[in-house]
Amino acid sequence: MSDNVLANTVKAFLQPIRSYLEDPGVSEVMINGPKEIFYERKGKLYRSETCFENDEQLMAAVRNIAQFVGRVVDEQRPTLDARLPDGSRIHIVIPPCARKGAYVAIRKFFREKLGIKDLINFKSLSVDCAKFLNLCILLKKNLVVSGGTSSGKTTILNILSTLIPDDERIIVIEDASELQLQKSHLVPMETRAPDKKGEGEVSMRELLRSSLRMRPDRIIIGEVRGGEALDLLQAMNTGHSGSMTTLHANNPRQAMSRLETLSLMSDVELPHLAVKNQIASAIDIVVQTSRLRDGSRRITHLSEVVGLGPDGDYIIHDIFTYEILRADSEGNLIGLHRAAGILPSFFKEAKAQGFPCEESLFTASSKRGRNDQAEGG
């Protein structure tokens, strides 16, 4: 069965929300039982006027979707995470775990390829921020994109990957394929869930360890959620520079604590301080993205992890930050990106390698230059 036929079949099962699935302005659809449907448009949630007739209609749709993606959802396996034929992500929870009927969350896949200029046009970052990120990629600094749910982490990671030189071999590992890297030497891999008998699972850690034997120039992990964080840190510390990943955290310092927690979930027993040292030496830059209260998404911090202090705390320098100035009459937030006035520790390295890098890019005196005027939502 072709992907188009399969996609139309899936949409047929989800007829009450089909218009949202086909609307390019809608990014996510959430079903909280048959009578309660929400959708997201431009970062804001709206309640749908359509709904399913009853629990039976919704459960029939859920089971048919599971069948079409080659998975099973039942009382013994009441959750399902899968990719639809069009690339959208779907997550399902059914009773008895779901108390209001089946829950379905669909994050739509957009085929439009975005670049760093789009982030500038969206006011997600400034031109100076973009120059700095491009420098980080060219210098093969290890990056973590940190943010909360639906803050744009995957989009940012996708766009950062466009800055990687075309002659590099990139290995990408994901739980469910979301990244849309357009590179000539790309090696994408995807984890596999266990079958009905609980066999055949291929974990993120297994794929990451396998990737180290495949001569990667860079390793990109869609998101670290467990013990694979320690494997990635060790890879970063043993010559696989320029690697990138995402994780859930609300600020750069919390991102470091999150990496500690994930690393300690591995089966390798290390002293806490040893884990912190691994993190401080492996991670160079934290790209913090946030979804603001008006629904807009902004990169709020570009921060450098310099190392550990004598007390064991991380030394983190903000290079650029985003400041909210006010809200306009429609509730849209107005703000700007500011240079913090701190040179990154690799400034001299960049100059020595001949990359365009001027001190004025980072000085606080230039923070209200042409590229950083107050930005609307």
Q: Which residues contact 373 (CB under 8 A, 6 or more apart)?
A: 336
For the stretch 168-191, pLDDT in tens is 999 999 987 788 887 889 999 999
Higher-confidence residue: 364 or 92? 92
Q: What is the pLDDT of residues 124-168, one digit of tens each?
A: 999 999 999 999 999 999 999 999 988 999 999 999 999 999 999
pTM assigned to the model: 0.86
Average pLDDT, whole number, for the chain?
A: 90
Confidence of residue 7 (pLDDT cuts 50, 70, 90): low
Identify whether 356 is preceded by a cis peptide bond (ω within 30 of 0).
Answer: no
**213 Cβ contact partners less than 8 Å away, ≥ 6 residues apart:** none
Q: Which residues contact 136 (CB under 8 A, 6 or more apart)?
A: 143, 284, 285
How many CB atoms are closer than 10 A to CB 201?
A: 11
The model's pLDDT over 84-108, given as tens digits with 9 standing for 90+, comes to 877 788 999 999 999 999 999 999 8
Q: Is the pLDDT of residue 348 over 50?
A: yes
Report the top-level CATH class of 3-107.
Answer: alpha beta
pLDDT over 90 at 273, yes or no: yes
Residue intervals in the chain for CATH 3.30.450.90: 3-107
Distance from C-alpha of 84 to C-alpha of 177, rounded to nearest angstrom: 10
pLDDT mean over 280-293: 97
| Better-predicted residue by pLDDT, 1 or 117 | 117
pLDDT of residue 375: 59
Q: Which residue has the tokens 């934290």?
A: 286
Kindly give the pairing relationship between strand 186-190 and strand 170-174: parallel
Q: Say which CATH superfamily domain 116-372 falls into.
A: P-loop containing nucleotide triphosphate hydrolases (3.40.50.300)
CA distances from 278 to 49, 84, 141, 231, 239 (A): 51, 37, 15, 10, 13
Q: CB–CB of 191/210 below 8 Å? A: no
Residues of the chain with CATH 3.40.50.300: 116-372
For 37-58, write each residue's pLDDT tens digit. Answer: 999 998 889 999 999 999 999 9
pLDDT at 85: 77
CA torsion sign for 8, 14, 20, 26 is: negative
